[in-house]
Amino acid sequence: MNATKNNLRGDVVQKCYRMICRLSMTFSTLWCRVKMMVWGIEFGKKCIFGGNTLFYKSPDSKIAIGNDCKFYSNSRFNFRGINHRCILQTNPGGKIVIGDRCGFSGVSIVSSVSVEIGDDVMCGSNVIIGDRNDHEDIYPDWQPQPVKIGNRVWIGMNVTIMRGVSIGDGSIVGAGSIVTKDIPSGVIAAGNPCRVIQTR
């Protein structure tokens, strides 16, 4: 009898938790859409925001998000753990273009020239993508270089993608990798520095 009561109580708690999550996602999606309109960010249909994404779009820059993309900025929506909310930030002249049906969890994307992400790209928790190293005034050799990620790419959690990198269609980048050089299409790559370990 006690086990039955505990199961019923557990079912009620789970239903309440799921309802809270749905309400939270609805509110954060509406709020992020308002912020994108204020910042002049282009976005497509059916984009969902679980938690509060941080946007910063400099003048003379571009951020464009395709259809049916998901941004999770709270561990409530990704139980692998999110260290910080999603961040999309451009400097003057920068460009972030994201295709359709992409997913991001606590992902930071920063651009001074160009970051282009194709369709059906999935990024695990805490991925960092940037076309710059920063502090170019101190280190003039560290000039920004474009980053391009193809279609159907899977990027594991805690991956860092550095400036000037291209990742080909259909490739997988293993968790914790630091990508400093181009990755061809249709491969599995991992490590620090990231290298091809297998052809798909």
**Residue ranges of the chain whose pLDDT lies below 70:** 1-10, 17, 79
At 182, which amino acid appears?
Answer: D
pLDDT digits (tens, 9 = 90+) for 35-69: 999 999 999 999 999 989 999 999 999 999 999 99
Report, in angstroms and rounded to the nearest whole number, the Rg of the chain calculated over CA atoms.
19
E-assigned strand segments in 58-194: 62-65, 70-72, 87-90, 95-98, 103-105, 108-111, 115-117, 122-125, 128-130, 147-149, 154-155, 160-161, 166-167, 172-173, 178-179, 187-190
Residue 147: CB partners within 8 Å, gap ≥ 6? 111, 114, 115, 116, 129, 130, 131, 161, 163, 164, 165, 166
pTM of full prediction above 0.85: yes
By percentage, how much of the chain surpasses pLDDT 90? Answer: 76
Task: Work out whether strand 187-190 and strand 195-199 pair parallel, antiparallel, or are unpaired.
Answer: antiparallel
Looking at the annotation, which residues are catalytic? 135
**Cα dist from 31 to 7, 35, 155, whole Å:** 36, 6, 27
CATH number of 2-199: 2.160.10.10
